[in-house]
Structure 1
Amino acid sequence: MEESMVEKKSDSSSKTSSSTEAGAEKVANSVLFPCKYASSGCEVTLPQTDKREHEELCDFRPYSCPYPATSCRWQGSLDAVMPHLVQKHKSIPTLQGEDVVILTIDINMPGEIFWLMMQSCFGFHFMLVLQKRRKYGGSHQFFAIVQLIGTEKQAEKFGYRLELNKPQHRLTWEARPCSIHENIASAIMNDGCLIFDTFVAHLFAQNGNLDIKTSWIKRFTHYDTCRAATTDMAIDGLDCNPLIEHLLLCRTVTSVLQ
């Protein structure tokens, strides 16, 4: 009899404790806290349980210096990124307009190197980085990464096209830009760039130099969140299949032999 009464009291205490915890959790979730980047302009308020997740992706979190291959540890607001690049990294050439041709000189230069260009249009600055990296085994790959000096939401409003052209050859890559909140290493890991090897680079190069045409459109709505890549090639007397094996594009590759 006594054991039965003890069990009932224990069950009652457990239910009371659970009810108290549930009530406390409900109260905690009803209290909204400001983002820790509120002083930088974020107006979001949210429960404590959701606060950390939001702050990890908040558009108002500090931006790191987007200049590649450097030990620059600068961080600051979005508005301060361009002034920082101009003052501290003065060697970046800038082209104006929606359609430009970027010349990358001496792609046969030994070692792991990068070429950098800024393009200004639609009131924004876009940064194109062509990076040459060594693969396992000693061969090299080229990575063409395009970043917006802006937020992820702003990047979703744009689309770009990269073109490599040569008589009877054309390679086209279409995608959305990355925000500079996503660094170059992440863009490569997340398939956010055009990738090709030295075979393709030499196919389109002239005297060791590679021309990359970059075109921009606003309100990019024709593609979903997955980047899309297409190749359109007309090659006389050459089977496309071996060439396509060298086109290590990130998501989708389509070859058209005309």
Structure 2
Amino acid sequence: MDLGGTGSSFKEVLESNLIFSDFETSKSKSEANYNSTFAKSRTYLDGKNGNHSKNGVYDLLECPVCKNLMYPPIHQCPNGHTLCSNCKIVVHNRCPTCHRDLGNIRCLALEKVAESMELPCRYHNLGCHDIFAYHTKLKHEQNCQFRPYNCPYAGSECSMMCDIPTLMTHLKEDHKVDIHDGFTFNHRYVKSNPHEVENATWMLTVFNCFGKHFCLHFEAFLLGTSPVYMAFLRFLGDEKEAKKFRYSLEVGANSRKLIWQGIPRSIRESHRKVRDSQDGLIIQRNLALYFSGGDKQQLKLRVTGRIWKEE
């Protein structure tokens, strides 16, 4: 259902507006953005830092196609040009340098060199100062606590990847997100035509409390064939730290209420994954209209909440 031409509007007390989204973030686009930002700052590789000792070998291990480190199996063409196993598929088994067929030749000598190397984590400049054997480096980086975070702003397909302080600046300046101090909140969500609820989300709101940041999502979508509204909280940090906190959400009217209590989900998990897990306060449309009062033709839903830290 295309909501863009209806003329209806969402509003939130804190200057919310409607954003349309398929809720999908392109991982490859995010990685490309990160690589572009940090590629010139790799320890041991940047001559400006005075670290030349491994630069020549590292250049040999850089795939000419994706520019990432090559991990065994490393392939080569009959002329000796190398590339990684992923890009071998991408280039349809044809050497990107000399255009000869690659065949199935392995560069065993370069694989041996790779196995003997020790390298810093790619997130060294974000705070990780550990050194790893070449074959364990990739596994570490997949779970490194210093790896950058994806922008949590749903609906924008934003490719920004950065640390939390930079992310907060990005949310405020680029997405015009409201940032509030305090551990309680009270939001009123309004929509003139509540019968249109497919894949729509209100503007993100961020809360600063306990020295951390939390983002509140509120959106409308179809759960199967049933139109629903859903509110949930995400934590700007890792899952381990997120589990130290709890939050509650409440909505109601006419002496009736729904209450949800849960653990905020880390923004390491995609927005779509959290939404599809239904880990939040879900309100059927008919009930949401009942809570709105009046003639039940307009959504006027007030959601209150609280965040606290577990001892």
User: What range describes the TM-score normalised by the shorter chain of this pair?
Assistant: 0.5 to 0.7
Return closer, same or farther for 1:125/1:206 CA change in 2, 3 Å cut-off.
farther
**Which structure has the bigger radius of gyration?**
1
Q: Matches of 1:167 and 1:89 in 2, distance apart?
A: 36
Among residues 165, 176, 179, which one is paired with 2:252 in the alignment?
Answer: 165
Gaps of 5+ in 1: 1-27, 222-258
Return closer, same or farther for 1:102/1:52 CA change in 2, 3 Å cut-off.
same
SS in 2 for 1:209: strand
Is 1:214 the counterpart of 2:301 in the alignment?
Answer: no
Among residues 87, 90, 97, which one is paired with 2:173 in the alignment?
Answer: 87
Among residues 93, 106, 118, which one is paired with 2:191 in the alignment?
Answer: 106
User: How many Å apart are 1:135 and its aligned residue?
Assistant: 4.0
Q: TM-score, normalised by structure 2?
A: 0.54
Look up the match of 1:229. Answer: none
Letter in 1 for 2:257: R
Q: Matches of 1:43 and 1:199 in 2, distance apart?
A: 54
Cα contact 1:114–1:132 (8 A) shared by 2: yes
Look up the match of 2:150. Answer: 64
After superposition, residues 114-129 of structure 1 pair within 5 angstroms as 114-115=201-202, 116-129=204-217
Structure 1, residues 135-182: CA drift from partner, whole Å, max 9, x if none? Answer: 444x31222221122232331221111111323212111111112221
Gaps of 5+ in 2: 1-114
User: How many Å apart are 1:56 and its aligned residue?
Assistant: 1.8
Structure 1, residues 12-42: CA drift from partner, whole Å, max 9, x if none? Answer: xxxxxxxxxxxxxxxx79x975432222112
Look up the match of 1:133. Answer: 221
Among residues 148, 151, 155, which one is paired with 2:242 in the alignment?
Answer: 155
Cα contact 1:62–1:77 (8 A) shared by 2: yes
Letter in 1 for 2:218: L
Is 1:192 the counterpart of 2:283 in the alignment?
Answer: no
Percent identical across equivalent pairs?
Answer: 28
Q: TM-score, normalised by structure 1?
A: 0.64
Structure 1, residues 223-246: CA drift from partner, whole Å, max 9, x if none? Answer: xxxxxxxxxxxxxxxxxxxxxxxx
Among residues 54, 57, 62, which one is paired with 2:140 in the alignment?
Answer: 54
Return closer, same or farther for 1:82/1:49 CA change in 2, 3 Å cut-off.
same
Return closer, same or farther for 1:133/1:103 CA change in 2, 3 Å cut-off.
same
User: How many Å apart are 1:68 and its aligned residue?
Assistant: 0.8
Letter in 2 for 1:124: K
Q: Matches of 1:32 and 1:133 in 2, distance apart?
A: 48
Letter in 1 for 2:217: V
Among residues 103, 108, 128, which one is paired with 1:42 in the alignment?
Answer: 128
Cα contact 1:162–1:172 (8 A) shared by 2: yes
Greater RCO between the two (CA within 8 Å, min separation 6)? 2
